[in-house]
Amino acid sequence: MSDSYREISDTLTRLKHSVRGLANWILDYSDELGYPITNMALNKLAFFAFEKILLEDKAILTDAKIEAWEHGPVFREIYQGFKSYGDNKITGRARFYSVDTGEQAVAVANFDLELSKKLKIILKPLIPLTASNLRKLSHIEGGAWHQVWCHDGYANPGMEITPELILNA
């Protein structure tokens, strides 16, 4: 981790929300609006929510790692949780193993009213877009994904999109 990343990271608020809970919240909201969501679209929507909260509030929505994949930013937990849907509408919800019950449980987002309202404002214009249009938005030249995917010279193991890259994009 670079010194500049540590410096930036130290000034940010960590909200520590579950990325699976975020995914389920987005799926529920898209259902409320009447739009089907695919795995690719869900990953882009989660990224745009993360990005906007970071840029506007200087807060890290989730500690889950964001990776630059060919089709844009990906949260591995979201991808793995819904890859069985392929490019079809996701009808299930992300789950996790509960150490309390010893069973699988549906992940829940514990967002306060203010954050829920903010996420709705961020995502409402994006949810109707197709996965390919969301992909195009995430591939903007000079953006965080572009900087990682088209990096030049330095090594970036795991092709990680860090908060530092998003803030400096």
At residue 2 the predicted structure's pLDDT band, cuts being 50, 70 and 90, is very low
Provide the pLDDT for residue 10. Answer: 76
| Position 129 pLDDT exceeds 50 | yes
Q: What is the pLDDT of residue 11?
A: 87
Report the distance separating Cα 78 and Cα 21, nearest Å.
Answer: 10
**Percent of the chain scoring above 70 in pLDDT:** 92
111-122: average pLDDT = 98
Q: Which two tokens stand for residue 88?
A: 């079809």
- The confidence band for 155, taking pLDDT boundaries of 50, 70 and 90, is low
Separation between Cα atoms, residue 96 and residue 124, nearest integer Å: 27
Helix residue ranges per DSSP H, 15-130: 19-33, 39-57, 76-82, 113-123
Task: State residue 141's pLDDT score.
Answer: 94
The mean predicted confidence, pLDDT, of the chain is 93
pTM of this structure: 0.92
